Amino acid sequence: MKLRKGSHDATGLRFGIVVAKFNKFVTSKLLSSCVEGLTTHGVKADDIEVVRVPGAFEIPLVARTMARTKQFNAVICLGAVIRGDTPHFDYISAEASRGIGQASLDADVPIIFGVLTTHTIAQAIERAEPTKFNRGGEAARSAIEMATVMRMLRAGEETQPSAEVPRVRRARKRAPRKHKA
Ligand code: INI
């Protein structure tokens, strides 16, 4: 059996981030957690390039353009689309998700969907909060995992069995045996 899976060691990798300014009170938190997630896994600050766009609708074009430069091992998209009283939410969120997926396939580079789509402002805040769902940090980890697995696939390498973390089976605690007197 051949096994290939990404790692979380991002040393030497380069990342692009596209972040929407719309709902900045949420997206600025996503951005800081994402950058922190990348740097704690070994990415140098100089190897991260951030581009701001007006809203989530504008993310796919910029993500695709960045990815097509081939200067980045992965591109991360960050945004927050929050439902309002009109159908606007449905158009923006559908176009952002479809466009980001398409951009990744077109450019042949991992592009990560770190765009929140929520019913309420409270849900968005909760998901951007580093101490709660921390979707910014999660997007960083997904980007590293995809960048490393794609590098491996392209080089035709395999994950060494020793790199696998063995599952530790916990012994069930037994009641002490009663000894006959
Ligand atoms: N953009 C977002 O990123 N989030 C939203 O919640 C949002 N809403 O609700 O309108 C939003 N709209 C702006 C949109 O992304 C574009 O920037 C705009 O339509 C110009 O093309």
Residue type at position 100 = I
Distance of CA 99 from the midpoint of ligand 1 (Å): 14
> What is the predicted pLDDT for the residue at 53?
98
Residue range 19-33: mean pLDDT, rounded: 98
Q: Are 15 and 38 in contact (CB under 8 A)?
A: yes
Q: How many other C-beta atoms lie within 10 A of the C-beta of residue 46?
A: 7
Residue range 45-60: mean pLDDT, rounded: 98
Is the CB of 130 inside a 6 Å radius of any atom of ligand 1? Answer: no
Phi then psi dihedrals of residue 53, to 5 deg? -125, 160
Is the CB of 23 inside a 6 Å radius of any atom of ligand 1? Answer: yes
**Nearest atom within ligand 1 for CA of residue 79:** 3
Is the CB of 145 inside a 6 Å radius of any atom of ligand 1? Answer: no
Bridge partners of residue 19, in order along the sequence:
52, 78
CATH number for the domain harbouring residue 82: 3.40.50.960
> Is the pLDDT assigned to residue 169 strictly greater than 80?
no
Residue range 30-37: mean pLDDT, rounded: 98
Q: In sequence order, which residues have a C-beta less than 8 Å from that of residue 149 and are 6 or more positions away?
A: 4, 5, 6
Among 26, 57, 118, 125, residue to substitute to test ligand 1 (most atoms within 8 Å of Cβ): 57
Q: What is the mean pLDDT of the chain?
A: 91
Residue range 4-19: mean pLDDT, rounded: 94
> Do the domain assignments include residue 7?
no
Residue range 57-70: mean pLDDT, rounded: 98
Exposure class string for 51-82: b at 16+ Cβ within 10 A, else e: eebebbbbbbebbbebbeeeebbbbbbbbbbb
> Is the pLDDT assigned to residue 163 strictly greater than 70?
no
- Give tens-digit pLDDT for 79-133: 999 999 999 999 999 999 999 999 999 999 999 999 999 999 999 999 999 999 9
* pTM of the complete model beyond 0.85: yes
> What is the predicted pLDDT for the residue at 165?
45
What H or E segment, with its residue span, contains residue 31?
helix 24-40
> Do the domain assignments include residue 177?
no
> Do the domain assignments include residue 167?
no
Which structure tokens are listed for 17? 């981030």
> Is the pLDDT assigned to residue 178 strictly greater than 70?
no
Is the CB of 56 inside a 6 Å radius of any atom of ligand 1? Answer: yes
**Nearest atom within ligand 1 for CA of residue 20:** 3
> Do the domain assignments include residue 166?
no
Higher pLDDT, 50 or 156: 50
> Do the domain assignments include residue 84?
yes
- Cα angle value 46/104/151 (rounded, 5°): 60
> Do the domain assignments include residue 162?
no
Distance of CA 119 from the midpoint of ligand 1 (Å): 15
Q: How confident is the model at residue 2 (pLDDT cuts 50, 70, 90)?
A: confident
Higher pLDDT, 107 or 168: 107
Is the CB of 20 inside a 6 Å radius of any atom of ligand 1? Answer: yes
* Structural domains in the chain (count): 1
> Do the domain assignments include residue 82?
yes
What H or E segment, with its residue span, contains residue 49?
strand 48-53
Annotated catalytic residue 179: no
Nearest Cα residue to atom 16 of ligand 1: 55
> Do the domain assignments include residue 171?
no
Bridge partners of residue 15, in order along the sequence:
48, 74
Q: How confident is the model at residue 174 (pLDDT cuts 50, 70, 90)?
A: low
Q: Which one is catalytic: 8, 41, 88, 119?
A: 88
Which structural domain, as residue segments, surrounds residue 135?
Answer: 15-157
> What is the predicted pLDDT for the residue at 151?
94
